[in-house]
Amino acid sequence: MISKIKSLIKPPVRDSFQGKTDLESRDEKNFFRMALGIILGTLLVLFFSFMITFFVSVRGAEQTLVPNVTGEYLIDGLINLQEKELYPRIQVRYTEDPLEKDHIISQDPKAGSVVRAGKRIKLTISKGAVVDKVGSYTGLNLSDVKTQLQTLFASYKPLMVIKEPVVFVFDDATAGTILEQEPIADTPLTGLTELIFVVSRGPVGKKYNIDDFTELRWMDAVNRLVRSNQPFVFTLSEDEPGNNSVVLKQVPASGKTVMAGTRINLTISTPKKLARDEGFGMIELTLPDYPVSVDLTVERTETAGRAETIMEMKHPGGRFSMPYREKIGTEITVKIYDEVVKKITVE
């Protein structure tokens, strides 16, 4: 009995190396295991969190369907893109239809394409037509307005055209001046619009006495006629050659009273001699009868490429003929408002 009691009260055995009892040693081991488990668990949680984040980032944004915004008003199209988490990249340009202003006229990628959310969609926005309203043309010259419209719509479909035939009336304003227009200035353009003009013919024709051109060299006669914008027609007389090719006859005769713009017919002699490298002849053509005199120009271009204006004048149209004496190979060109209507090469 006493031996049992002694065994119960026997002091615990101490670790010879650590100087600790068995109970203390077990507690420390359990604590160490628990701490190690917590650390390993934390590391595992961090590892799995990192892997999940990595794969989500690699996977990227969700895919979405590109909506059809072509033809929509800009604001409406932007809202539709925003709902799909898409963003615009905008560029603008003029179009032929003024009603397309501020509307989306094209998109890239096309509607129905599958893209990632956050992608930028290229949108082309219309700035409308080059002009969106009728200009003020009253008081301007008809030829200038035609040139202006041609330049304005050189790269785009025309939105304004001048209705033909133009109405011409006698007026104190300079010939060719636009007196009235329809539609009026600032009328909005919604499509192709015809411009109706009333244009001045100039004052009622004045009368004057015909000069005497006989015995003048033909080029001197041309210069005098051009200065007064008097239309003329030259013809050759084969029967009476002369050294300098002078005017032999004129109709109407000198001193006769005629209306301004009356055509003068001049008959000239054929030159007797020409240099070996010269050619002589007549450039002839029939022009339309213009309601207002147009700018007529005659130019020559030498074989070396040098160009020179021989004459320029206002011409009412109809028959036109003029002599030439130039070096062989020279090109002679007749133009109306810089448009070539006749070209010959001297032979």
Q: Supply the pLDDT for residue 145.
A: 93
Domains 63-126 and 207-345 share a fold: yes
- The 8-class DSSP code of residue 246 comes to B
Q: Supply the pLDDT for residue 15.
A: 47
Distance (Å, rounded) from C-alpha 176 to C-alpha 170?
A: 10
Q: Supply the pLDDT for residue 56.
A: 58
Q: Supply the pLDDT for residue 330.
A: 95
Nearest residue to 279 (alpha-carbon basis) of 318, 327, 315, 215: 327
67-118 pLDDT, tens per residue? 999 989 899 999 999 988 899 999 988 777 777 888 998 999 999 889 988 8
Q: Supply the pLDDT for residue 239.
A: 72
Distance (Å, rounded) from C-alpha 264 to C-alpha 251?
A: 6
Distances (CA, A) of 230 to 177, 221, 235, 265: 21, 11, 16, 11
CATH 3.30.10.20 for domain 207-345: yes
Q: Supply the pLDDT for residue 98.
A: 75
Decide if 166 contacts 291 (C-beta within 8 A). yes
Type of residue numbered 23:
L
Q: Supply the pLDDT for residue 166.
A: 82
Distances (CA, A) of 322 to 223, 237, 277, 280: 12, 14, 20, 11
Which regions in the chain score pLDDT beneath 70? Answer: 1-25, 27, 54-61, 204-205, 240-244
Q: Supply the pLDDT for residue 16.
A: 45
Domains of the chain, by residue range, sit at 14-54, 63-126, 142-202, 207-345
The fold of 63-126 is Trypsin Inhibitor V; Chain A (3.30.10)
β-strands 193-202, 167-170: how paired? parallel
